[in-house]
């Protein structure tokens, strides 16, 4: 069966969702060659910023707590992350990225970078700037597009 495209009733929203899906799928496929999934990559990126609890990871990544537990278990088995007691709250366990996790993350970032470059390689620099400016105006919370960013509009007009 062919890929099922979104059908929101808006060709514009469908195109945004379908493009995002294709980029995510390509990034995930590239990460799998590095031994990671897109989800585990996101967890390593978060842990590279700072050690945090499962609850915080769940909230930051907007993933169910059970899913975070499974991802961290997998990362820990591979030596990419480790658990430790919180220094001031014995009820909390912190998750840390290991040195091997940092090495794996560097490799994964390069792989994702190559895939992202390939994904947008068909767009000129000007087209990329225009696309970014347009997408930044999409705001589902307001019910209408956000006001244009004057600096972005000026940069893309020139």
Residue 144, pLDDT score: 52
Kindly report, residue by residue over 1-37, the tens digit of the pLDDT: 567 788 888 888 899 999 999 999 999 999 999 889 9
| Average model confidence (pLDDT) across the chain | 86
Q: Spell out the SS3 assignment of the chain.
A: CCCCCCCCCCHHHHHHHHHHHHHHHHHHHHHHHCCCCHHHHHHHHHHHHCCEEHHHHHHHHCCCHHHHHHHHHHHHHCCCEEEEECCCCCCCEEEEECHHHHHHHHHHHHHHHHHHHHHHCCCCHHHHHHHHHHHHHCCCCCCCCCCCCHHHHHHHHC
pLDDT digits (tens, 9 = 90+) for 120-139: 999 999 999 999 999 999 88
Please tell me the pTM assigned to this model.
Answer: 0.77
């Amino acid at each position: 069966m062919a890929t099922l495209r979104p059908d929101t009733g808006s060709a514009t929203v469908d195109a945004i969702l379908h493009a995002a899906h294709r980029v995510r799928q390509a990034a995930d496929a590239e990460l799998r060659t590095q031994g990671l999934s897109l989800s585990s990559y996101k967890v390593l990126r978060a842990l590279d910023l700072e050690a945090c609890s499962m609850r915080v990871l769940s909230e930051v990544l907007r993933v169910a707590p059970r899913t975070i537990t499974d991802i961290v278990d997998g990362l820990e088995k591979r030596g990419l992350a480790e658990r430790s007691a919180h220094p001031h709250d014995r009820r909390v366990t912190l998750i840390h990225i290991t040195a091997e996790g940092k090495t794996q993350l560097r490799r994964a970032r390069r792989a994702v970078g190559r895939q992202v470059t390939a994904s947008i390689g068909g767009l000129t620099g000007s087209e990329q700037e225009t696309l970014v400016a347009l997408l930044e105006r999409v705001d589902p919370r307001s019910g209408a597009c956000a006001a244009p960013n004057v600096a972005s509009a000026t940069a893309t007009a020139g």
